[in-house]
């Protein structure tokens, strides 16, 4: 059964963006004349997602105001607030009471993707416990190294591996299709030294326990918008796509 529901993690501060997020939450930063979050919602709706739970935190009222004033067509929205920013696993768990039984797609409010990636992710999850979007990099030391077998099933996820130690080019790109099987792994997490509970660690534990997760290479562009430089690169790409200079 294909997922028709999504969770969007949009609670973070975006400290590396400096003054750009002093008064604007990161998911509302503009790309090609529209907030990043609206690009994501459009892409999810185009891929077949019908409802989304948006987890807000930092400047969350701005996000609620923006989406209630001009709700995106084709997708129903619910909002939950993460009062204490305790990491992405705790944020995802807040959406749990609002999810129907069955699979769900989770994505980050600061990731910009072409719509084709979401469609590919949803398609690959059929017949498996889930699917994880991955992107090729020279060295996944800054994210999470994703190891796969010959059938492109995830065999191991290593968070923040030391530079030069990974034997895989695949990095955890963030978005994933998951199921209710995830929650025991979230509940079993230990906090990181900074007090946060991170969703990729729960996913790594699930893989280790034998859950079948398919790796899905990014289709088209992928931008993790965490710095002014990555924001500017995403803006240039979004403008080119809007102007017809980039084709799916």
Mean pLDDT by 10 residues, the chain (248 residues): 90 90 95 94 95 97 92 93 94 97 96 94 93 97 96 96 97 97 97 93 97 96 94 94 67
User: 12 to each of 53, 156, 157, how far by Cα in Å?
Assistant: 15, 27, 23
- In CATH terms, is domain 5-242 a member of 3.90.550.10? yes
CA distance 86 to 68: 26
Sign of CA dihedral 85, 55, 12, 66: negative
Q: Are residues 186 and 101 in contact, defined by beta-carbon separation less than 8 angstroms? A: no
Q: Are residues 217 and 173 in contact, defined by beta-carbon separation less than 8 angstroms? A: no
For residue 20, what pLDDT is reported? 93
For residue 66, what pLDDT is reported? 93
pTM equals 0.95
Residue extents of the structural domains in the chain? 5-242
Q: List, in sequence order, every beta strand (DSSP E) within the chain.
A: 5-10, 30-31, 34-35, 51-56, 76-81, 104-108, 111-113, 130-136, 144-148, 154-159, 170-178, 213-217, 222-224
For residue 8, what pLDDT is reported? 98
């Amino acid at each position: 059964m294909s997922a028709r529901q999504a969770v969007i993690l949009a609670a973070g501060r975006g400290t590396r963006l400096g003054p750009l997020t002093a008064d604007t939450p990161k998911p509302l930063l503009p790309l090609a004349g529209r907030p990043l979050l609206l690009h994501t919602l459009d892409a999810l709706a185009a891929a077949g997602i019908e409802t989304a739970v948006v987890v807000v935190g930092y400047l969350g009222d701005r996000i609620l105001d923006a989406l209630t004033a001009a709700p995106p067509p084709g997708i129903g929205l619910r909002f939950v607030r993460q009062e204490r920013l305790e990491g992405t696993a705790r944020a995802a768990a807040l959406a749990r009471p609002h999810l129907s039984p069955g699979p769900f797609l989770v994505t980050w409010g600061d990731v910009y993707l072409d719509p084709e990636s979401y469609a590919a992710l949803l398609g690959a999850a059929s017949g498996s416990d889930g699917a994880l979007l991955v992107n090729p990099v020279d060295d996944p030391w800054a994210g999470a190294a994703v190891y796969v077998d010959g059938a492109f099933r995830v065999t191991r996820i290593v968070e923040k591996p030391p530079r030069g130690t990974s034997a895989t080019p695949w990095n955890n790109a963030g978005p994933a299709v998951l199921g209710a099987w995830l929650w025991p792994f979230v509940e079993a997490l230990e906090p990181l030294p900074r007090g946060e509970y991170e969703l990729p660690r729960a996913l790594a534990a699930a893989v280790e326990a034998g859950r079948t997760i398919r790796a899905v290479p990014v289709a088209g562009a992928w931008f993790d918008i965490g710095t002014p430089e990555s924001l500017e690169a995403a803006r240039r790409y979004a403008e080119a796509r809007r102007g017809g200079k980039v084709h799916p």
